[in-house]
Chain A
Amino acid sequence: MEPIIELRGLRKHYGSFVAVDGLDLTVQPGDVYGFLGPNGAGKSTTIRMMLSLIRPTAGSISLFGKPLTTHRSEILQRVGAIVERPDFYNYLSARKNLELLGRLSHADVSEKNIMRVLDIVGLEARAGSKVKTFSHGMKQRLGIAQALLHDPDLIVLDEPTTGLDPHGMVDVRNIIVSLARDHQKTILLSSHILPEVELTATRMVIINRGKAIVEGSVQDLLNSGRLKVTVETPEVQRAEQLLRESDFAPYVQSTGEGAIILSLLRGDVHLVTKFLIDHSVHVEGVIPVRSLEEYFINITQEAA
């Protein structure tokens, strides 16, 4: 299957500062692809290069199997994007903004289509309002609407929930999931909000200092490597003593009131549980606390 996005050796320098350093990335059709990295990792620079807003210093960008340099218009016809802040022509209404932007994308700018996308993002009641009266969250929603207007095959969302309240974040997540599931869109989701990627993405890459550190399916990455586990027990002192005298001693990280925290390989979790039970320790719970957040911090620290 032909990749939707293929970056090879992508590089961007600003003088001596290297923003993106030989990045390789492949996004397959149907992926909700998480593009993760701390602030300043090079995510937005990469996205801007993919959308031809910034010229790469070196490397190649292909979308839909075609080089961006020679097929720019054809490619962008099939891409909808939000790049960082949702900025619009504030002196125009939401409807007029969509109409003008849609005309540049050869989109159907009929009232029906404009209201359809405004309905998807819950802004149909404010279609006639000037954008300068919109909150940040409403502009963010309008940003998604403009990205959907021309029914693109690839949607690039750069920090789409930044500045949104919890309700707004959930709404946007639901829209992303719905676009992938119900409309078969391929989505590149750049974010530093990890639960957002964990809850929506199927594959992801983590970049730091312009380089890809790790890439794969979200589940595989979460299941690989060490897992932080909290063992809850009323016999903390005895359990800790047993573990420290066993082969599991190196994995004991800390103890707290009613719990011991261990850093284990996923396959060792049941062995620790069995060890404690075999030694008549009353185990009330074994809770993996490993999340993408934990993984992200570990992996970016290791890379640093």
Chain B
Amino acid sequence: MMLTAIGVELSKVFSKWRTYIGFIALGLLIPVVVVAMGVEGMKYFDFATANLQQMFSFSGNLMNGYTMSYVLLGSLYVHVPFLVTLVAGDILAGEATAGTYRLMLTRPISRFTMVTSKFIAVLIHTNVLVLFLAGLSLGLGVIVLGPGEVIVIRESITIIATDDALWRFALGYGFAALAMTTVASIAFFFSSLVENGIGPIMTTMAIIIVLTIIAAIDVPMFDYIRPFFFTSHMIGWKDFFNQPVAWSSALTSAAVLLVHIVACYVGALFVIQRKDILT
């Protein structure tokens, strides 16, 4: 029954045009960024390394497909959550809005099966979206800009060899998928509480924005609470681009995100199990 329910949920999810907003947005954005980087990428690189140019000399294919994909991943992690919540925030609340809980739950399908199948559909949508982002940015980046060393510019510069890049991207995008799944799970939980799909989307985004702002303010008091924010752990994908990989930090962040995912799923299950269907 679970497989049937998952199939039904996927059919519904992928029959809605809103599901494709994320794919369309990334499909338009990434080629534009790739072309822009191809044309003016060195200006971006010069700006980012302005303080170092007096001491070091950089040469080679600096703005290559891998570096571009790294930059893109870093800049999109604030925006991709919105695309993810479009589906996750609506998947339960949308049934309440449309009055179709009645159709589903008068069938021989348990509430556990319904919630779980919807959650799995959300996971699939989220992960396919991240996979699409990875495939398009890496694929298009390498085709247009060519492969090369990943230039990681943070407090210091780390240069990752071309041969050493792909497995790091695999893990980095895998972690990004986990982070986006966390966002989707939060939206999913809020979706179980309300009867309108807009609320969970707005609430999830508001939480991400507020926590990100608090985390960015350099006040000592926030140092104590910052590690408890899931947003602080969403950037754990960067650990895979350290030299060597910061495994401990990455695994801790992954564990924190997993706890959030499980808690949100169990929370939604609890809410729906007890819910009287009045819409």
Give A contacts to B, CB under 8 Å: 48, 51-55, 72-77, 79, 81, 83-85, 87-92, 96, 100-101, 103-106, 146
Contacts and interface: CB of A to CB of B under 8 A. Distances in A.
Interface residues of B, number: 26
B105 A100 contact: no
B266 interface: no
6 contacts: A73-B109, A83-B102, A89-B12, A92-B12, A104-B4, A104-B8
B279 to A, nearest CB: 9
Nearest to B103: A101
Given A55-B274, A73-B108, 13 more contacts: A48-B277, A52-B106, A53-B276, A84-B99, A84-B102, A87-B98, A88-B100, A88-B103, A89-B100, A96-B15, A103-B7, A104-B8, A105-B108
Contacts of B12: 89, 92, 100
A53 B108 contact: no
Nearest to B98: A87
B15 A76 contact: no
B154 interface: no
Contacts of B103: 87-88, 101, 146
Interface string B92-117: 00000011111111111110000000
Contacts of B108: 72-77, 104-106
A83 B106 contact: yes
B11 interface: yes
B98 to A, nearest CB: 6
Given A53-B277, A54-B276, A104 B104 contact: yes
A88 B103 CA distance: 8
B8 A100 contact: yes
Tell me whether chain A's interface is mostly helix, strand or loop, or mixed.
loop
B231 to A, nearest CB: 33
Contacts of B101: 53
A246 B215 CA distance: 95
Contacts of A88: 98, 100, 103
A202 B158 CA distance: 83
Contacts of A104: 4-5, 8, 104, 107-109
Ordered nearest first, which 4 A-B pairs have the shortest CB separation?
A87-B99, A53-B277, A73-B108, A104-B107
Nearest to B111: A52
B55 interface: no
A54 B99 contact: no
Contact of B98 (A52, A90, A101): A90
B221 interface: no
Nearest to B5: A104
A90 B109 CA distance: 21
Contacts of B102: 53, 83-84, 87
A101 B104 CA distance: 7
A179 B98 CA distance: 28
